[in-house]
Amino acid sequence: MAKQNKESRCSFCHSGKHETLMLIEGMDAFICDKCVTQANQLLAQELGTKGSKNIQEAINLLKPLEIKNHLDQYVIGQDDAKKVLSVAVYNHYKRLNQKVDADEIEIEKSNIMLVGETGTGKTLLAKTIAKILHVPFCICDATVLTEAGYVGEDVESILTRLLQAADYDVAAAERGIVYIDEVDKVARKSDNPSITRDVSGEGVQQALLKILEGTVVNVPPQGGRKHPDQKMIPVNTNNILFICGGAFDGIERKIANRLKTQAVGYKVKKDETVLDLKNLYKYIMPQDLKSFGLIPELIGRIPVLSHLNPLDKETLRNILTAPKNSLIKQYVKLFAYEGVELIFDNDVLDFVVDKAMEYKLGARGLRSICEAIMLDAMFDTPTQTDVKQLHINLDYAVEKFEKADFKKLQAA
């Protein structure tokens, strides 16, 4: 701070140096601490108003059908899950814009649980919907979470990631959306009581309860463990929407047992007894989650339950070519950077789909198989300047695939 003379006065309120705590000098001008504080309040108010306008604009522009249409460009199938997500996000926007009066009905948030096999698109749906949101969005993994005081990350680290996505704007983070992946990995390990604590299972579920329902959480700004001398950031989770996803491997047996039990002793029509045994996920109920190992208190705080259908051959074939960022389009783009036109035969795509179904890896298997087929071509093409076109036929694909020795994966 430069030295001021006796005649120095604030250029805004004309207060003298003796009337203020601090007088900051600029180029031929001064500003006092009172005017700085007032300017800061005006700026915060203006930014808050603009944030409310952005929310209102989002409500007007993004109807549930429009959100689903955006998801359709990147994710093939899974219409039920898309509708659930679209409605949840739209209602979240409306809830953020609600002005609650004393006698007005307050809209409660509806946290979501997505259940589906690996590779069916749970995380892809979350990532895709993040592209169109006007609120902070983060994806975190439940497998690293442990009960407070044990090795691993505390549950509060979820909110640390949300704060980072909001550039540490607490007001913005408090209207954000969080996707918790692999939530099935925190299921209770056993129904039998034990002398040891289930610190990465039921302990995590207990810690999640208040955060999902809504409370003020003291969050360490840089993540990690809490300690007494650390400065905390209070975050209110009342307006944060939580979306949980998990494969819940083996829950089909719980569903099958429940359906069989319900049918005993009742006379039902034949058409009502026909079940889709290839897709038992469509019959999932909250009691199945309880049987799998989620505690009832957690299930009650995630009221919306949806499923993702297993991927059949037709869906996998469309995933290869139809989405806006499909695998085939990505490879064509990669080779276009080298000035090479890449062409795939249709029977090559059918071969990739057949192998993906054989190894039961879902959509992720498509990428692994394509990488095995294209590895040599991607290695040699950048140094072959005379190549202008690359044609991938079935014989070439089979040869490169067998060279990769994927049978080891099948044996595993």
Binding site residues for Zn(2+), as ranges? Answer: 10, 13, 32, 35
Report CA dihedral (204, 207, 211, 216) to the nearest 10 degrees. Answer: -150
SS (H, E, C) the chain: CCCCCCCCECCCCCCEHHHCCCEEECCCCEEEHHHHHHHHHHHHHHHHHHHHHHHHHHHHHCCHHHHHHHHHCCCCCCHHHHHHHHHHHHHHHHHHCCCCCCCCCCCCCCCEEEECCCCCCHHHHHHHHHCCCCCCEEEEEHHHECCCCCCCECCCHHHHHHHHHCCCCHHHHCCCEEEEECHHHHCCCCCCCCCCCCCCCHHHHHHHHHHHHCCEEEECCCCCCCCCCCCCEEEECCCCEEEEEECCCCHHHHHHHHHHHHHCCCCCCHHHHCCCCCCHHHHCCHHHHHHHCCCHHHHHCCCEEEECCCCCHHHHHHHHHCCCCCHHHHHHHHHHCCCCEEEECHHHHHHHHHHHHHHCCCHHHHHHHHHHHHHHHHHHHHHCCCCCEEEECHHHHHHHHHHCCCHHHHHC
| Alpha-carbon torsion (68, 69, 74, 79), positive or negative | positive
- State phi, psi for 22 to the nearest 5 degrees: -150, 140
| Alpha-carbon torsion (380, 384, 389, 393), positive or negative | negative
Which of 3, 54, 51, 12 is CA-nearest to residue 34? 12
Q: How far apart are the first and last CA of the chain?
A: 69
β-pairing verdict for 216-219 and 112-115? unpaired
Tokens of 293: 């190992």
Give the residue ranges of the annotated binding site. 10, 13, 32, 35
